[in-house]
Amino acid sequence: MASATVAAPASASPGLALLRRAFGDARTRTLSFLALFFLYAWMQAVGYRDAYPTLAARLDFARSFAGNDALRLFYGYPYNPVDVGGYCAWRVGGVLAIVAGAYGLLGAVRALRAEEEAGRLELVLAGTIGRQRAYLASLGAVGAGIVLLWLAETLGLLAGGLPLGGSAYLALATVSVAAVFAGVGALVSQLAPTRRLALEISSGVLVLCLLLRAIADASHSLDWLRWATPLGWAEQLRPFTGQQPAALVALAACSAVLVAIAGRLARSRDLGSGLLPARDTAAPRTRLLGSTLAHAVREERTSLAIWVLGAGGYGLVLGLVSSSISSAGISPAMRRELKLLGSGSITTPRGYLSLIFIFFVLTVSLFACAQVAAAHREESEQRLDTLLSLPVGRSRWLAERLALACGGAVLIALASGAMTWLGAAWEGVPVTLMQMLEAGANCLPAGLLFLGLAALAYALLPRASGALAYGLVTVAFLWELLGSVVRAPSWLLKLTPFAHIGFVPERPFQLGAALVMLGGGLAGALAAVVLLRRRDIGGG
């Protein structure tokens, strides 16, 4: 038996083994993002070609939208919306760059700070691998994911009939943002002592970069701000429209510098801590400790504040730029087209705001998923065992968490409405506070429907619940954006809750649909609260 004691290691290099593990750890997320990148790129290319087959139609489209500042808030600046490539550079590049940024920071924080916080990095570093190599191997896993995203987007564009060179270049412009935000995530992972704080800070950076791009794209005097945000650099690459590869240098350099600084910090600090001053001792503050609900509020309040501020801040900018919307450049044919799409009149500031509030519906829905994920973490990190060993029923506990999520959703929705009104009123757009609060409240039925469904997923399949909940919201939203572009049959289009939201205040509130969604959400939540009684909690 003695000869068997020296077994060959499974992998020759510990760095490679670590990279593989980190990559495998993120596989569900990576696969979802790959699917999203491929499908979104492909459907946008196909959809545009089908919807605007002739040059005349495209010119009409361009006249309507190219001059429309407010639309650029989400999609970026359209340099050439009259050919498929230029359209994709605008719509695909503009949106997926934000998603790519999220992928980069989520991946880096997960591979670095979360591993360290859980104590697994300590175990790894006790082995034969050095700090620097462990750091690079963990980031390497994120890098591998980014390369795959690049492939997926390129293939999606190719499938949509675009040429190889331009597709690869556009995909590169998109994923280079992921590389920069992987650097941001890596750096913040050195600063923040917990995964949660690291995610909050780096998402804050992403939202700020997005706001800068939105302002630069929408305002002619401030367009130099585009150079202040990596999302702007990706735009400056101008895929399919007079390519300017020089901006790639900025992206690559920024990513490299961030990664290098973070690597240096990773080498020189104490393991298990962050560089931000964190006080490990404090006099007891007993506020919000009197009950499980109060304690949940205490745990979630920072996160909630970030959601409210983020949504409110975006609402303010939307309100400010909405005044630039006018019907001057939009042809009657295009107006008919927009009417067919059910968007109401996007050609007035009020119509634009009504339409754009669908993004706040998405925000509230994602917040709902995040709240259910936070509840799930209480269980997976075994703190729920401790709570439930006290005289606290699990149904009651989940009901409280869902009530808290509801309250948070209401705050976010109303803050979006109020701040949008503030911005719009500042610029003299004729909307009332009541109207915009109504638009905000109109986000709630769909958001609460997703809250109920996410809760149900948690009660039934706790481990898969995060992927299910976020996946459902993403698919439903993309279907709303893309379904009409690819001209799907109307019954298919109606499958997504987003299709049943009235564009308040331009269009009437859809009371019937709202009641159905609220009923569905309530049914899901009640079922979750009851079904949680039937399964094992934690550990198994």
Partner 1 sequence: MDDDRDPEKLTDMASQTTDAPAQTAPPPGRGDVAIRTSGLCKRYGATVAIADLDLEIARGEVYGYLGPNGAGKTTTIRLLLGLHRPSAGRAELFGVDAWREPVAAHRRVAYVAGEPFLWPSLTGAETLELLASVRGGVDVAYRKTLLERFQLDTDKKVRALSKGNRQKVQLVAALSSRADLLLLDEPTAGLDPLMEVAFRESVREASERGQTVFLSSHILSEVEALCDRVGILKQGRLVDQGTLAQLRHLSAQTVEVTFAGEAPTLPELSGVEVQRAGANSLRLEVTGPIAPVITALDGLPVLELTSREPSLEEVFLHHYDGTGSDG
In which residue are the tokens 């499958």 written?
A: 495
Q: How far is the CB of 385 from partner 1 (least distance, A)?
A: 6
Q: At closest approach, how far in Å is the CB of 123 from partner 1?
A: 15
The amino acid present at 116, given as its one-letter code, is: E
Cβ nearer to partner 1, comparing 221 with 536 = 536
Q: Which is nearer to partner 1, 62 or 399 (CB)?
A: 399
Q: Which is nearer to partner 1, 313 or 538 (CB)?
A: 538
Count of C-beta atoms within a 10 Å radius of residue 305? 13
- Rounded to whole angstroms, the Cα distance separating 384 from 376 reads 9
For partner 1, the closer of residues 198 and 399 by Cβ is: 399
Kindly state the smallest distance separating residue 292's Cβ from partner 1, in Å.
6
- We find the least distance from the C-beta atom of residue 225 to partner 1, in angstroms, to be 36
Q: Which is nearer to partner 1, 295 or 335 (CB)?
A: 295
Q: Name the residue nearer to partner 1 (CB basis): 55 or 278.
A: 278
Q: How far apart are CA 66 and CA 57, in angstroms?
A: 14
Closest CA to 354 of 417, 283, 273: 417
335 neighbors 68 (Cβ within 8 angstroms)? no
CB of 198 vs partner 1, minimal distance in Å: 13
What is the gyration radius of the CA atoms in the chain, in angstroms?
24
Amino acid sitting at position 368: A
**Minimum CB distance to partner 1, residue 207 (Å):** 23
Ramachandran class of 501: left when φ > 0, alpha when ψ lies in -120 to 50, beta otherwise: beta
User: In whole angstroms, how close is the CB of 184 to partner 1 at the nearest point?
Assistant: 23
Nearer to partner 1, 336 or 383 (CB): 383
Instruction: Please state, in angstroms and rounded to a whole number, the distance separating the CA atoms of residues 8 and 20.
Output: 18
- Give the whole-angstrom CA distance, residue 368 versus residue 333: 39
- State both tokens at 305: 């504040």
User: How many residues are given for the chain?
Assistant: 540
* Interacting residues with partner 1 (CB under 8 A): 193-194, 279-286, 289-292, 295, 299, 381-383, 385-396, 399, 533-540
CB 267, min distance to partner 1, A: 23
Q: Which is nearer to partner 1, 321 or 388 (CB)?
A: 388
Report the residue number, 336 or 535, with the smaller CB distance to partner 1: 535
Residue number, 91 or 196, with CB nearest to partner 1: 196
Shortest distance in whole angstroms from residue 387 CB to partner 1: 7
Q: What is the DSSP string of 156-206?
A: HHHHTT--HHHHHHHHHHHHHHHHHHHHHHHHHHHH-SSHHHHHHHHHHHH
Shortest CA distance to 415 belongs to which of 371, 368, 346, 364? 364
> End-to-end CA distance of the chain, in Å?
36
Least distance between partner 1 and beta carbon 460 (Å): 15
Show the DSSP H helices in 225-273 as ranges: 230-236, 246-268
Closest contact distance (angstroms) between CB of 538 and partner 1 is 6
Q: How far is the CB of 262 from partner 1 (least distance, A)?
A: 22
456, two tokens: 């149900």
Q: Is 423 helix (H, G, I), strand (E, B) or coil?
A: helix
Whether the CB-CB separation of 22 and 111 falls below 8 Å is answered with yes
The structure tokens 């638009």 sit at 439
288 vs 418 by CB, closer to partner 1: 288
Angle, helix 444-460 to helix 358-380, in steps of 10 degrees: 20
Residue the block writes with tokens 């109504």:
438
Q: What is the closest distance, in whole angstroms, from the C-beta atom of residue 309 to partner 1 in the complex?
A: 20
> Measured in whole angstroms, how far is the alpha carbon of residue 200 from the centre of its chain?
13
CB closer to partner 1 out of 410 and 526? 526
> Whose Cβ is closer to partner 1: residue 207's or residue 525's?
525
Which helix (H) or strand (E) segment is 90 a member of?
helix 84-109
- C-alpha distances (whole Å) from 506 to each of 352, 429, 437 are 9, 13, 13
Task: Please tell me what DSSP assigns to residue 2.
Answer: G
Round to whole Å and give the CA distance between 446 and 442: 8
Instruction: Quote the CA–CA distance of 349 and 326 in Å, as a whole number.
Output: 7
d(CA 77, CA 292): 48
